[in-house]
Amino acid sequence: MKSPKEETSWEDYPFLTQKGIELIKRYTVPRTNIGMGRFAAYKDYGESHWRIGYGSKQLGKRCLNLMSRATQAQIEAQLLEDLKPFSELVGAYVLVPMNRNKKAAILSFAHSIGIPSFKECRLLELINGHASKNAIIKEWSPWINRLWMSGGEMFVERRRVELDCYLAADKEIPTFMPHKCSVKQCLLNIPETFTGAPNQIKAIEYLERKFLDFDPSGEVLRRFFRYWNEKPSGLGSPPRPERSV
């Protein structure tokens, strides 16, 4: 099993990342499960060709027909093969440098709406135009852009996770002072602007010392992240339920 820090890379497909594949698999339900870990071929409405699993039009080098069947391992292997040329198409439309988290988020977004819609979408225009973080959030967040709310809970959750992934720093900020932080994600690793400059290192050391003095148990950090990960209540999100008296 790979450690969380390891990242599979494909030199010929630089826009394809393991995190992007996992995002797609998490929110794309394979069809059609006939039990015992096997999937049958199917046709989408209005199409003449057969598909299987995650929408693949072939299985290895075999064409599909009514009697085609595949295992979970086979449809996942075929999904990877399908995503290789797909990632090349996505990468061809993205004109700005991307870290691994941004590539994963954009690959998932493009996979959910399709290449024809992706290449014409407002989000791609904003990204290629070096738009501000706030502008990208307004377009991508399901709590602000109500278009995404119409797709159902899974669609809303996918947009939220993609946006979080896009905004996540590709590298964690190193810490230089031992401290007892009992949460998986440390507050010191949130900023995305860390460059390793001496003044930033000095600021981190100062902040760590203050945390040790102020919160040696880590309870404040745990509470912070509990609030941080809650669904937002403003900016177009659904109203909070009324409390019973």
**pLDDT tens-digit readout, 46-63:** 888 999 999 999 998 889
Relative to beta strand 33-35, strand 58-59 is unpaired
Name the class of domain 18-167: mainly alpha
| Dist. CA 66–CA 197, nearest whole Å | 61
Task: Kindly write down the DSSP assignment for every residue of 122-148, as one continuous string.
Answer: HHHHHHHTT--HHHHHHHH-TTTSGGG
3-state secondary structure of 20: helix
Q: Whole-prediction pTM value?
A: 0.68
Residue 202: closest CA among 178, 176, 172, 169: 176
Per-residue pLDDT of the chain (245 residues; tens, 9 = 90+): 444 444 566 788 999 999 999 999 999 999 999 998 899 999 988 888 999 999 999 998 889 999 999 999 999 999 999 999 999 999 999 999 888 899 999 999 999 999 999 999 999 999 999 998 889 999 999 888 888 988 888 999 999 999 988 988 665 545 444 445 555 545 555 554 556 667 777 777 787 778 778 888 878 777 776 776 666 554 444 455 565 54
Ordered by start, the domain boundaries in the chain are 18-167, 187-228
Can you give the pLDDT at residue 199? 76
**pLDDT tens-digit readout, 125-163:** 999 999 988 899 999 998 888 889 888 889 999 999 999
Can you give the pLDDT at residue 143? 84
Can you give the pLDDT at residue 3? 47
Residue 225: closest CA among 184, 197, 195, 196: 184
Contact between 106 and 99 (Cβ < 8 Å)? no
Contact between 192 and 209 (Cβ < 8 Å)? no
Sign (positive or negative) of CA dihedral 130, 132, 133, 139: negative
| Dist. CA 210–CA 217, nearest whole Å | 13
3-state secondary structure of 72: helix
To the nearest whole percent, how much of the chain has pLDDT over 70? Answer: 76
| Dist. CA 166–CA 160, nearest whole Å | 10
Structure tokens, 222: 């745990």
72-93 and 100-113 are packed helices; what angle lies between their axes, rounded to 10 degrees?
100
Question: Position of tokens 């031992």?
Answer: 178
